[in-house]
Amino acid sequence: MTENRVGFRYLILGLIAERPMSGYDIMRFLENLNWLIGAPSCGSLYPALRRLLQDGLATVEVVAQGNRPPKKLYHISDEGRRLLREWTEQPSAPGTPRAFAMRLVAANSRSPAELVAELERRKSELAGPLARLGHSLGGPEGDDSGTALALRYARTVAAAEVGWLNDALTRLRGSTPQPLDSATRLQG
């Protein structure tokens, strides 16, 4: 199984661990994150849901909807919850913002202390690249070559992520953890 497919499997488990969702609900949620993690097609989501069912990691509840076709709500099973927890407790490999975002969604059931540790790991992952990016912009003043623009973009994105991490860590370390604002959390 490729790393993307494995991550997608855990992403779905993380979503249905938070609350039962239909395939449509999952697609709508993921469309909000399309620019960051890519939204799956129906042709990849529904086979992934079927595999979760076959592997005993999820269950499905069919809910009548009057004159409309019944709605299938997917629930995480105890085995799915156990597997998800094992995956989220593994040290994360340094990765892209895509992998990190998928891991955060899958970490719904983790304690605030575990989330703090995950965010601290990500912050340390960014420290080296951010420092290197600060030193690699040494071209001539006003250099707007594609390379210089790409380096400035990477530095800006990494700095913004560190700012977000600092804000999230402050919230999580507060006496009563507060949910992130809806624009950050993007609930479907």
pLDDT in tens, 40-94: 666 788 999 999 999 999 999 999 988 999 999 999 999 999 998 888 777 666 6
- State the pLDDT confidence band at 16, using cuts at 50, 70 and 90: very high
1-92 under CATH 1.10.10.10, yes or no:
yes
Question: Domain ranges in the chain?
Answer: 1-92, 111-188
90 closest CA partner among 1, 34, 174, 6: 6
Q: Which of 102, 98, 158 is nearest to 127 (CA)?
A: 158
Q: Which pTM value belongs to this model?
A: 0.65
Q: Does residue 108 or residue 123 have the better pLDDT? A: 123
pLDDT tens digits, one per residue of 116-154: 888 888 888 888 777 777 665 555 566 777 767 777 787
**Nearest CA to 169 among 108, 106, 102, 122?**
122
